[in-house]
Amino acid sequence: MRNFIIRRVILGLFITFFGAMLSYTVIRSLPTSYVESVARQRASNPLSTKSYQEWLAELNQVYGLDKGIIPGFFGWLGNAIKGDFGDSWHYAVPVTQKFSEVIWVSMILNVITTLVQFFIAIPLGILAARKQYSRTDYAITLFALMGISLPTFFLATILKYVFAIKLQWFDLYGLTGRFHTTMTDFQQVLDIAYHLVLPVVTLMMLSVGSLMRYTRTNMLEVLNSDYIRTARAKGLPEKVVINKHAFRNTLIPLVTSLSGILPGMFTGAMITETLYQIPGIGYISYQAIIRGDIPFAMFYMVFLILLTQVSILLSDILYAIVDPRIRVN
The 10 Å Cβ neighbour count of residue 61 is: 12
Residue 215 lies in a domain: yes
196 lies in some domain: yes
Q: Does residue 268 carry a pLDDT above 60?
A: no
> What confidence category does residue 324 fall into, taking pLDDT thresholds of 50, 70 and 90?
low
Q: How many CB atoms lie within 10 A of CB 75?
A: 12
Report whether pLDDT(22) > 90.
Answer: yes
Burial class (CB in 10 A: 0-12, 13-18, 19+), 286: middle
Helix axes 258-267, 294-322, angle to 10 degrees: 150
Residue 162 is given by DSSP the state: I
CATH number at residue 99: 1.10.3720.10
Tens of pLDDT, residue by residue over 152-161, are: 888 889 999 9
Confirm whether 192 is domain-assigned: yes
Residues ≥6 apart with Cβ < 8 Å to 163? 169, 170, 198
Over the stretch 197-209, which tens digit does the pLDDT of each residue have?
999 998 888 888 8
Per-residue pLDDT of 46-74, as tens digits, reads 877 788 888 888 888 888 888 888 988 99
Let me know if residue 266 belongs to a domain. Answer: yes
**Counted domains in the chain:** 1
DSSP letter string, 141-153:
HHHHHHHHHS-HH
Whether residue 257 is contained in a domain is answered as yes
Is residue 220 assigned to a domain?
A: yes
- Predicted confidence band at 326 (pLDDT cuts at 50, 70, 90)? low
CA torsion 105→15→20→266, rounded to 10°?
Answer: 0
Helix (H, G, I), strand (E, B) or coil at 234: coil
Report d(CA 6, CA 2) in Å as an integer: 6
pLDDT at 192 over 70: yes
Quote the domain boundaries for residue 214.
95-302
- Smallest CA-to-CA distance from 216 within 295, 298, 289, 144 is with 144
